[in-house]
Structure 1
């Protein structure tokens, strides 16, 4: 077996392990390698992750785990790595500075570095520090070559040859200065938008509810902005959102809803709201929790030009037969391994180190 085949096999086994954890049920399966060592322990890590960060509900963690289980198949991994040098092994170390907005948000970078044959040094967010070290330990058991290749330093990063860092627009400026002498991928804040044309079905709006509410809207793939035609009637949109009304029962979400509503009302902004979601006309892409911004458009060509001009700010465009590279309604939180964040091919970057 080539080096890359061994690494693919290891990650596919991790996918099998994760397939035991989904929002529908957690179920211990037969024939999962090292299950007796890891199954109960991982349930404990899920519990710790919930206790450490109240945005990380059990459902959101299990949704993320299920998504990775579906992605980490041998077939998907082979397709993902088809251009990677099969014998590539390197003592070079790649540092990853991870965000903590949604569970395992930095896993794609972690996968990309290890499967490319490099060592990985991971600076985790304090908001998401329980799940990945445990999964890294599982990988080390499955494939001995990963031993001594994965480290989680507590102190400042010092020894590395390249860096992949994700943060806000403010931290990105700091990263760009701090890592100016290293090969790097520096990711900034991005948001996702949906274009409504008036041809949407009830199913499309139902899918859009997932794009809006999954992970409480905290992901860069979460829809935070709508573009709607002039004189658009929002009834169909609100009807589609209604299936997620129970989100208001989450205390942290409800606090944000109440706070943002109070701010808007005191500022005398025009609002439409339904008890768990507010929509506000606003040109910005980044809306607060429990709020969606919207903007009217007059003609589709002007909107396409605007979206193209602002592509550095946008992660996904959700639409139906509107623009190239659009994402179907309901699919923003189901990216393929080849759907690179910010459109930057991580494997290609790594291949040039």
Structure 2
């Protein structure tokens, strides 16, 4: 089944709009929907960087209250703004992404007696989160699960298992649809073209924040020898205070081996110049950054959190979520990948697994079935 050829009006709501996983996922979804003739309204907080590649005539609504750091007053204003927007535009499908946007959107839909689709890019509660944030998110999920009729799209099996364990009465409304990304013509078998000798280029694509464990990455890189270089990409990685903190662990003669690039729109080109992809995290859903690395034919070293083990198997190494042993495991993996033939082998497996399981077409078709269920009930 594919998304209906009958033009529909869809509202996509995102907590953020920076060049990070969930907003880029929303941007991809919008592109696919627009290409099939549907009308899309984007609702988000921030500057809209993730959506800059979409046609200028796509309606964009900026609501500061969707941001995780917004005040209660701003949050309530966002709920009211969505009630008014959905009342006027009457979208056929309302699809929200990430925790804060989902709370605001689902609350608005309760007042409108509408059913929303909520893509869970990692629950707001669970392992790796702070106890306070987990308790707040859990409480809100209980309330919204009781008063709303939303359907849940979990981006990993791990997310659904956590959701069913904590919110068992909602199990029948939870589906698993793995994230997918389109293949790019430039993403041919790159691993054979990468240098067999010389520097080994590691890349980590992750915005600065509690979720991403840059502190652990700094400790790991400090113990690698001089043939390794590291590129850090993501919002905040070019900030002076972040650089200072990261380099504090690095020997002076190795500091020039770390590159701080900040948020970038040319991630695929940067991946093509790299040898190893690494992502050290405290929690995840199903990271688009790993999918991009797999698409580009890179071996992956990543923390075994959330749905990461649904992406990484024979194409790389999983690192324990326990801080006490994560550093030594990451070092062992990176030293092993100093072997070019192993990097090439795992890179080819990454590329093949991406092609078989994580192309965007399968994701879009699965979402179409969810949309049809929502449409029948509204």
- Give the structure-2-normalised TM-score: 0.33
